[in-house]
């Protein structure tokens, strides 16, 4: 898989003034940097007027909180959300460019709210087709007809796609839609060969149908920008937050900056004698005398409970291994080699150049998206100082 290097040299990791407490620092400047970096890749693909970019901000901007990242997304062409309520929220926060509603349980009345325009919606069922056909207001939204493809989560399969298109095209010609496009979500965007198959499959389905295309996501943009640059709109979510959508490489390796830094204070230090147990279930026993740090974060904050591989946190820039079971409120770490760290020292849990969220996800046997959306309401999100 070909991965373009960013044109600029490795981005400078930004350092944040970290307040005391269990906290996620959200850096909108990192988001802006990542957006520009994606654009630069699309330009490299050789088109002066490259595709427009939907910034995906569903799930409260992948757990980063929309309010904190919005300022970093000013140069996006539109925001993509899941629900109607999120679209209203984006408008309330002052977003004036297009919004794409992707989940799209809507009625004609929902779509007629002039406060939502310019509005784009995905059409993925007969019910939605019928709702659009009852729309009184002109022009209605820009419709995107979803192909069910290999993902099969929703959308029209090959056998009914063109008939659905014909019905929407009639609405478009009658001035009842403001646009009509062709849209697909890949099932296997991380695997180049499979993704190309999915592309070819969809191209055969829509061959000859006019209208803009929107098929590429973060994984496609980063693994295959030559192609991705030829769409009309692309969608990017995870990469905007500085997180790699590709296995085996982290955001930094792709020239991205992490938008979230999760950290928590050490709230206590406990000497642990050789042979003594630690934590619930007494799963850990000290092989020698240890100095244990109690980090004020646990699975009730969204830190993963089950580590399938060795986990670490960063203390004063150094990796400390996690020892003992992670509890609801506490992570226990081996502080033996950092005698100067103690109560009040802040530990970084992810989002640092030396400890990426991708590496924590790997230790936890999951994907980084699950970690960032899973940070619970108990953890305040605080905007990074400019």
Give the shortest CB-138-to-a second copy separation in angstroms: 28
Contact of 348 with 262, CB cutoff 8 Å: yes
Estimate the crossing angle of helix 126-133 against helix 158-173, to 10 degrees: 10
Residue 50's contacts (CB-CB under 8 Å, 6 or more residues apart) are: 39, 42, 43, 229
Give the shortest CB-219-to-a second copy separation in angstroms: 10
The structure tokens 């040299």 sit at 9
Instruction: Name the DSSP class of 299.
Output: G
DSSP of 211-260: S-EEEE-HHHHHH-HHHHTTSSEEEESGGGGT--SSTT--GGGGT---SE
Does 278 bind a second copy (CB under 8 A)? Our answer is: yes
Of residues 384, 373, 294, the one with CA closest to residue 65: 373
**Binding residues for a second copy restricted to 207-266, rule: CB under 8 A:** none
Does 329 bind a second copy (CB under 8 A)? Our answer is: yes
- Contact with a second copy (CB under 8 A) among 332, 345, 346, 356: 332
- Contact with a second copy (CB under 8 A) among 52, 97, 103, 167: 103
DSSP of 119-177: EEEEE-SHHHHHHHHT--SSS-PEEEEEE-TTT-SSSB-HHHHHHHHHHHHHHHHTT-S
Does 107 bind a second copy (CB under 8 A)? Our answer is: no
Indicate which residue of 28, 33, 58, 186 is catalytic.
58
Active site includes 280?
Answer: yes
C-beta closer to a second copy: residue 212 or 374: 374
C-beta closer to a second copy: residue 42 or 259: 259
Instruction: Name the DSSP class of 59.
Output: H
Per-residue binding string, a second copy, 178-197, x by CB under 8 A, is ---------xx-----x---
Does 305 bind a second copy (CB under 8 A)? Our answer is: yes
Does 125 bind a second copy (CB under 8 A)? Our answer is: yes
Residues involved in catalysis: 58, 280
Enumerate binding residues for a second copy (CB under 8 A). 58-60, 62-63, 82, 103, 105, 124-125, 127, 148, 150-154, 157, 187-188, 194, 267-268, 270-272, 276-282, 292, 294, 296, 299-300, 302, 305-306, 324, 327-330, 332, 343, 365-367, 369-370, 373-374, 376-378
């Amino acid at each position: 898989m070909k991965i373009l290097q960013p044109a600029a040299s490795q981005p400078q990791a930004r350092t944040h003034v970290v307040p005391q407490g269990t906290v996620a620092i959200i850096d909108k400047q990192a988001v802006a940097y990542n957006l520009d970096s994606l654009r630069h890749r699309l330009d490299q693909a050789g088109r002066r007027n490259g595709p427009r970019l939907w910034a995906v901000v569903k799930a409260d901007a992948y757990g980063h909180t929309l309010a904190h990242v919005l300022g970093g997304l000013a140069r996006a062409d539109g925001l993509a959300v899941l629900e109607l309520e999120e679209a209203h929220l984006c408008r309330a926060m002052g977003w004036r460019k297009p919004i794409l509603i992707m989940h799209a349980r809507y009625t004609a009345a929902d779509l007629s709210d002039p406060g939502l325009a310019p509005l784009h919606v995905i059409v993925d069922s007969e019910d939605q087709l019928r709702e659009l056909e009852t729309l009184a207001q002109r022009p209605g939204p820009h419709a995107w007809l979803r192909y069910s493809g290999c993902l099969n989560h929703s959308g029209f399969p090959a056998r009914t796609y063109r008939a659905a298109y014909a019905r929407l095209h009639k609405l478009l010609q009658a001035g009842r839609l403001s646009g009509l496009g062709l849209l697909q979500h890949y099932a296997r965007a991380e695997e180049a060969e499979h993704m190309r198959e999915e592309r070819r499959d969809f191209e055969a389905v829509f061959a000859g149908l006019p209208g803009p295309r929107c098929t590429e996501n973060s994984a496609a943009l980063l693994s295959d920008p030559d192609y991705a640059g030829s769409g009309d709109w692309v969608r990017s979510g995870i990469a905007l937050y500085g997180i790699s959508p590709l296995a085996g490489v982290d955001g930094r390796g792709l020239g991205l900056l992490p938008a979230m830094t999760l950290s928590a204070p050490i709230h206590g230090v406990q000497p642990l004698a050789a042979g003594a147990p630690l934590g619930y279930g007494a799963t850990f026993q000290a092989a020698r005398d240890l100095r244990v740090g109690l980090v004020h974060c646990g699975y009730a904050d969204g830190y993963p409970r089950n580590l399938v591989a060795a986990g670490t946190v960063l203390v004063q820039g150094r990796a400390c291994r996690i020892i003992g079971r992670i509890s609801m409120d506490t992570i226990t770490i081996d502080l033996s080699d950092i005698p100067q760290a103690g109560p009040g020292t802040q530990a970084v849990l992810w989002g640092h150049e030396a400890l990426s969220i991708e590496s924590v996800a790997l230790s936890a046997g999951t994907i980084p998206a699950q970690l960032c959306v899973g940070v619970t309401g108990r953890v305040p999100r605080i905007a990074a100082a400019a």
